[in-house]
Amino acid sequence: MRKNNIIFRSFLPQDAAALAYTLRAEDRRELAASHPGQEPASLIAAFARASRCAFSLLYCGKVAAVCGVVAPCLMGTRAQVWLLTGEEVEKIPKSFFRIMRGLVRYFLEIYPELFVFTDSRYKRALRFAKHLGASSAGSLSVRKNISFLEFIFRRNNNGRSH
C-alpha cells in the first residue's frame, strides 16, 4: 500500500452521497436505528452541516469515512463526535486507526471532553471506540428497543486522551 493513496481533507458536499453508496452494513443499520426513515446521504450531509468541522478520508479516490465534531456551544467544554465508515476502510485498517486517533487528539485540544453514541449491536464500533481511548459513560439511550451506548473521551492533564 502506498501512503499517497490516502487523503484526509475537509468534507465536501458530494462526499455524503459517495459514502452513502458504500456504507458498511453496520453503519447503515446504526443510521436506520437512530434516524428511522431518513436516507443516509441526507443524514451525512446534515451531520456535516451541523459540525464545527467535518472531514473525509479517501482511499484510492473513494470516500472511505466521514467524521466531525458537533459543539452545543462555541465556548463549551464538551462536544459530540461522529464517524461513519464505508467499505474502503477495510483495506486500510492501521492507517484508518492512526488517522482517527490523531483526530480525537486534535478535537481534545479544542474540547476537554468528547462523547459519542454507538449502537450496542455494532461490536466493531464499540471495540474501536475503546481502542481509541474512550471509556463507557455507563448510560444508554434506547430507540425502538435498540440501545445506544455513550462513550467519553477526556483530555488528561497532559492534553492527551485517556
Side-by-side strand order, sheet with 135-143: 6-10, 53-59, 62-70, 78-85, 113-119, 146-154, 135-143
Q: What angle do CA 44, 92, 27 make, to 5 degrees?
A: 30
The pLDDT score that the predictor gives to residue 157 is 56
pTM of the model: 0.89
In percent, the amount of the chain with pLDDT more than 70 equals: 91
Residues 111-129: tens digit of each pLDDT: 999 999 999 999 999 999 9
Residues 4-29: tens digit of each pLDDT: 699 999 999 999 999 999 999 999 99
Q: 123-131 and 93-110 helices cross at what angle (nearest 10)?
A: 60
The pLDDT score that the predictor gives to residue 77 is 86
Run of H or E including 62 = strand 62-70
Task: State the average pLDDT for the chain.
Answer: 90
